Chain A
Amino acid sequence: MTTNARCIEALGCERFDEENCSTKTSEEQIKVEESVEELFQLFSKKLTIDINAPSLYRGKHVSYLKKCLFYLPNSYECLDASRPWLCYWILHSLELLEETLDAEDRSKIALFIGRCQSPDGGFGGGPGQHPHLAPTYAAVNALCTLGTEEAFSIINRETLQKFLWSVRCANGSFQMHVGGEEDIRGVYCALSVARLTNIYCDKLFENSAKWIISCQTYEGGFAGCPGLEAHGGYAFCGLAALCLLGKEHLCDIRGLLRWVAHRQMRFEGGFQGRTNKLVDGCYSFWQGGAFPLLHKALADEDSTCVSTNWLFHQEALQEYILICCQNSLGGLLDKPGKPRDIYHTCYTLSGLSVAQHCFAGQEKIVGGLQNELARVHPLYNISQEAYINASKFFYNLPPL
């Protein structure tokens, strides 16, 4: 099913009201709205001659991503300790765009990721770097997205589990690496890889649910650590981790729903990361991806209340991504005026996929069916297909 855009002309009343009290927050917000408004107006004109607008620049994004897969300019030096992430962002984006790589390339990528695996278990940010939970999560997701037996077999499950034990803290949280910082990303990354590769055991995550819940704030979202401000990236990690533990009902689900529903911007249509911050395309997934998880939790409570749509404005999010976050040369971005990069490409596309797909047969595709992406599995943020293949492989292996 294709679906129409929001009426641009009627959006004027959604603009930010400063109430005669101009502050840094409101000034920045108004600036962003002006740049978004400009693009909305252009789109509105385009719509009169092209009923399929807004369109996804699928071919351009594919070319951009394929180029990045082999070569990145030196502005990526700051991500030299995140190379499995670079692989994952690119592979997952291509997967969502339904672009398949040839067998030879898939093999090369798997072998390269293998070089980032540490003899102590887990994966580092590059060959020879210490193992770290974030690149470990990225490496496992990237290998599962490749989906070949060769790729699956790269992962040393025994040492991976040892690595997870080495970064576990007594209170149930996880350090990102031995001697590293401790926050809610750690427990999510650990749970995600443990579940995907079938090395989960209860003892490894003893107390984790309690610790995660201590990160839920008075606003309803989750913070990186107890006491901090609710934040989209951490809220996703908190909720997804609780779901992976099967303990999402221990947190305040309704408070979380209220908080995350309020992160969608009334004018822009995209999501902000925190209250009174600016829209950013990457939160299309970090916030948008929480809705499928919440939907299930709420349906468990009372299935008669939930509908067949997610509890956010799916069309508005798609419009923000398609109208404001695409670079015409390929790649996606945070907000108008920002440069493209593969991180934002990955998370805007992931969010776009969530916004397009609710239940089977209930697709809402803004701009026509040619914009449809592959479905994501919202717990791991790999494609549904990749998840099914990985499960088949790892759950046929004996438990450790």
Chain B
Amino acid sequence: MTDSGSEDLSNEPPIIFYKHRPEWDDVTPVPQDDGPNPIVAIAYSELFQDVHDYFRAVLKSGEKSERALQLTDDALDLNPANYTVWQYRREILKHLEKDLQEELTYVRGVIERNAKNYQVWHHRRVIVEWLQDPSHELELTEAILSRDDKNYHAWEHRQWVIRTFKLYDNELEYVDRLLTEDIRNNSAWNQRYFVLNNTSNFPADIIDREILYTIAKIKKVTNNESAWNYLRGVLERSDYGICENSVVKQFCEDLYASGNRSPYLLGFMVEMCEEQIEKGAGDSFYNLEQAVRLCDSLAKEYDTVRKEYWNYIARCLTNKRNSHCNNGSSKALIEEMNSAASDGTIVTSVDE
């Protein structure tokens, strides 16, 4: 196809500037007042300038009419981030008592073209609030998320509509579908937590179910931080903390014994040790020595970019134990551990 051919296909009407439209003759455009020395002056196109000159005029006169509404369309088309225009558009909609279903259709188009923009989603939310009609919102957010499954604004809108209108029913299935598509989609994991957090108090049966669900996902991809974070998040809601669940404990020990050295597994084991130390329990496996060894192997081998962090965690754990112990015999051990934690002389890994 030739260039001229593709031009013929476009149905765009030619642009007529507002300053050339007879029906706007009665309005005096208001130029931008940047003063004598404009700073960060944007080289506006003639169209941008024309539309905004007339928008400023309308804002100033307070005109709330059909043509003013149309003008906000044009301004928002050129810059959908102009919150002043959106705010004024809402005033016009109210004043003219416009059909808000039409407005929903309009804003959907704007969202589809500008899905990463605060103002467009906020406008959508206000219109849905006015209408008290959430019936299109799950489908809309699903459509946007199908193109960008981590779009923060879409998730925010979806959570708002689910929370406000109690639309939790099929959400876990949706999340499950997304996680089947991409097991690493952290937004979907977060949504799973959101649903359970708002529909339950994490009773024991749900915690058990979620543990099995998450463990199955970790078995597939052991380096998936999203799943590990979710596992911890769920366990923290149980009455027993992260270390007391025998299924999780066994899972971690088996994974470790199989030779897996995912930094998230090792980090999780550090936290299990920490919990035991805090409880003063410290069994034969989850204790200070083990924690320091794990931190050390993370700092030196498995997670070197976080060496400062892991060394810090080791120092904290050692200090914490120090403050728990008073008798002389353990003091010697503690001092030994201290120096090991700070200069990293303990290199033995746990499987030896």
| Contact present for B34 and A112 (CB under 8 Å) | yes
* A25-B182, A177-B87, A229-B190 as given contacts; A313 in contact with B149, CB under 8 Å: no
Note all chain A residues with C-beta closer than 8 A to B221.
Answer: 19, 21
Give A275 to B78 CA distance when docked, in angstroms.
34
In chain B, what residue has the closest Cβ to A218?
B233
Choose from B40, B84, B226 the contact partner of A86 (Cβ within 8 Å). Answer: B40
Main secondary structure of the interface of A (DSSP, over half): loop
| Contact present for A77 and B45 (CB under 8 Å) | yes
For the complex formed, measure the closest distance between the CB of B296 and the CB atoms of chain A, giving whole angstroms. 15
Q: B185 at the A/B interface (Cβ < 8 Å)?
A: yes
For the complex formed, measure the closest distance between the CB of A242 and the CB atoms of chain B, giving whole angstroms. 20
Note all chain A residues with C-beta closer than 8 A to B119.
Answer: 181
| Contact present for A115 and B155 (CB under 8 Å) | no
Note all chain B residues with C-beta closer than 8 A to A26.
Answer: 184
Choose from B41, B222, B230 the contact partner of A19 (Cβ within 8 Å). Answer: B222
Give A90 to B197 CA distance when docked, in angstroms.
43
* A129-B84, A304-B319 as given contacts; A115 in contact with B34, CB under 8 Å: yes
Bin chain B's interface residue count: 35 or more
Q: B82 at the A/B interface (Cβ < 8 Å)?
A: yes
Choose from B183, B307, B319 the contact partner of A313 (Cβ within 8 Å). Answer: B307
Choose from A77, A177, A269, A306 the contact partner of B312 (Cβ within 8 Å). Answer: A306
| Contact present for A218 and B229 (CB under 8 Å) | yes
Note all chain A residues with C-beta closer than 8 A to B59.
Answer: 128
* A17-B223, A231-B152, A302-B319 as given contacts; A23 in contact with B181, CB under 8 Å: yes
* A21-B221, A228-B156, A312-B309 as given contacts; A276 in contact with B226, CB under 8 Å: yes
Note all chain B residues with C-beta closer than 8 A to A125.
Answer: 82-84
Give A309 to B308 CA distance when docked, in angstroms.
8
Give A236 to B42 CA distance when docked, in angstroms.
30
Note all chain A residues with C-beta closer than 8 A to B183.
Answer: 21, 23
In chain A, what residue has the closest Cβ to B114?
A78
Q: Which residues in window 215-250 of A have CB below 8 A to B?
A: 217-219, 224-225, 227-231
Q: Which residues in window 253-306 of B have CB below 8 A to A?
A: 267, 303-306
Note all chain A residues with C-beta closer than 8 A to B33.
Answer: 115, 127-128
Q: A321 at the A/B interface (Cβ < 8 Å)?
A: no
| Contact present for A127 and B163 (CB under 8 Å) | no
| Contact present for A25 and B42 (CB under 8 Å) | no
Give A125 to B86 CA distance when docked, in angstroms.
13
Q: B18 at the A/B interface (Cβ < 8 Å)?
A: no
Q: B44 at the A/B interface (Cβ < 8 Å)?
A: yes
Give A224 to B139 CA distance when docked, in angstroms.
23
Q: A73 at the A/B interface (Cβ < 8 Å)?
A: yes
Give A248 to B226 CA distance when docked, in angstroms.
26
| Contact present for B303 and A24 (CB under 8 Å) | no
Write the B198-223 contact mask toward A (1 if CB under 8 angstroms, else 0): 10000000000000000000001111
| Contact present for B43 and A72 (CB under 8 Å) | yes
Choose from A23, A261, A262, A302 the contact partner of B184 (Cβ within 8 Å). Answer: A23
| Contact present for B81 and A78 (CB under 8 Å) | yes
| Contact present for A266 and B305 (CB under 8 Å) | yes
Give A225 to B118 CA distance when docked, in angstroms.
13
Give A105 to B229 CA distance when docked, in angstroms.
50
Q: A12 at the A/B interface (Cβ < 8 Å)?
A: no
Choose from B118, B159, B163, B186 the contact partner of A276 (Cβ within 8 Å). Answer: B186
In chain B, what residue has the closest Cβ to A304?
B319
Give A281 to B198 CA distance when docked, in angstroms.
35
Q: B225 at the A/B interface (Cβ < 8 Å)?
A: yes
Note all chain A residues with C-beta closer than 8 A to B37.
Answer: 108, 111-112
Q: B133 at the A/B interface (Cβ < 8 Å)?
A: no
Q: B79 at the A/B interface (Cβ < 8 Å)?
A: yes
| Contact present for A72 and B82 (CB under 8 Å) | no
Q: Which residues in window 182-230 of A have CB below 8 A to B?
A: 217-219, 224-225, 227-230
| Contact present for B316 and A302 (CB under 8 Å) | yes
Give A284 to B230 CA distance when docked, in angstroms.
25
Q: Which residues in window 75-94 of B have CB below 8 A to A?
A: 78-84, 87, 90
Write the B35-61 contact mask toward A (1 if CB under 8 angstroms, else 0): 101111111110010001000100100
Q: A82 at the A/B interface (Cβ < 8 Å)?
A: yes
Q: A257 at the A/B interface (Cβ < 8 Å)?
A: yes
| Contact present for A80 and B79 (CB under 8 Å) | yes
Write the A144-184 contact mask toward B (1 if CB under 8 angstroms, else 0): 00000000000000000000000000000000111111000
| Contact present for B186 and A19 (CB under 8 Å) | no
* A109-B39, A313-B307 as given contacts; A77 in contact with B48, CB under 8 Å: yes
| Contact present for A112 and B39 (CB under 8 Å) | yes
| Contact present for B39 and A313 (CB under 8 Å) | no
Q: Which residues in window 94-130 of A have CB below 8 A to B?
A: 108-109, 111-113, 115, 124-130
Q: B168 at the A/B interface (Cβ < 8 Å)?
A: no
For the complex formed, measure the closest distance between the CB of A223 and the CB atoms of chain B, giving whole angstroms. 8
Note all chain A residues with C-beta closer than 8 A to B238.
Answer: none
Note all chain B residues with C-beta closer than 8 A to A111.
Answer: 35, 37
Choose from B42, B52, B152, B319 the contact partner of A305 (Cβ within 8 Å). Answer: B319
In chain B, what residue has the closest Cβ to A68?
B40
Q: B98 at the A/B interface (Cβ < 8 Å)?
A: no
* A23-B184, A25-B185, A305-B315 as given contacts; A219 in contact with B233, CB under 8 Å: yes
Other A-B pairs, 7, CB within 8 Å; known A124-B84, A276-B226: A21-B183, A90-B40, A127-B34, A128-B56, A229-B152, A266-B304, A304-B319
24 A/B residue pairs, CB under 8 Å, sorted by A: A24-B181, A25-B182, A25-B185, A69-B39, A70-B38, A71-B41, A73-B42, A80-B42, A86-B40, A108-B37, A108-B39, A111-B37, A112-B38, A126-B32, A129-B84, A177-B87, A179-B87, A181-B122, A217-B193, A230-B190, A304-B315, A311-B309, A313-B305, A313-B306
Interface residues of chain A, those whose CB is within 8 Å of chain B, are 14, 17, 19, 21, 23-26, 68-74, 76-83, 86-87, 90, 108-109, 111-113, 115, 124-130, 132, 176-181, 217-219, 224-225, 227-231, 257-258, 261-262, 264-266, 269, 274-277, 302, 304-307, 309-313, 316
Q: Which 10 residue pairs are nearest across A and B when measured between Cβ atoms?
A: A218-B233, A25-B184, A86-B40, A112-B39, A108-B37, A229-B190, A23-B182, A275-B186, A261-B309, A181-B122
